[in-house]
Structure 1
Amino acid sequence: MSDKEKLENTKDKVAGKVRETAGKVTGDKKEESKGKVQNLSGKVKEKFEDLKDSAEGAVEELKDKFDKKDK
């Protein structure tokens, strides 16, 4: 995962938590819900990027094994 992607995901999580808290404090359920969604969106994107990185690593391992086997 690139640093830019990490920053964007963290930004979504933090901004979402701020919106959620602001909504709770002001009693604005709509803002609170938007914050929860934004926070969750950042978490989901982060997990997706981690999964993508893991899959890429697994593919590289398989390539290495096949390359060694062919030699």
Structure 2
Amino acid sequence: MSVFDKAKDKAEQAIGTAKEKLGEKTGNQDMANSGRADQTEGEAKEAGHDLRDRAEGAVQGLKDKFNK
């Protein structure tokens, strides 16, 4: 995963946490729910990028193994 992708995913999670807390403090349940959704989306994207990177590494490992 590129550093940019990781930073975007972490930022989305941080914004979600802030929105959730602000929504809870102000009694705005819609904002709190939106913040939780942002956090979940950021975590899902991060997991997807991690999975993609592991798959790419496995493919490269196989290529290296068979090209020797």
Question: What is the TM-score with the length of structure 1 in the denominator?
Answer: 0.91
C-alpha offsets along residues 7-61 of structure 1, whole Å, 9 cap, x if unaligned?
A: 1111100000000001111111100000000011111111111100000000011
> Aligned Cα RMSD in Å?
0.7
2:61 paired with 1:67: no
> Would you identify which runs of 4 or more consecutive aligned residues in structure 1 move more than 3 Å?
none
Gaps of 5+ in 2: none
Amino acid in the other structure paired with 1:41: E
Question: What is the TM-score with the length of structure 2 in the denominator?
Answer: 0.94
**Cα distance in 2, alignment partners of residues 51 and 3 from structure 1:** 15
**Cα distance in 2, alignment partners of residues 4 and 64 from structure 1:** 27
Q: How many equivalent pairs are there?
A: 68
Gaps of 5+ in 1: none
Amino acid in the other structure paired with 1:21: K
2:2 paired with 1:2: yes
Amino acid in the other structure paired with 1:16: G
Aligned to 1:46: 46
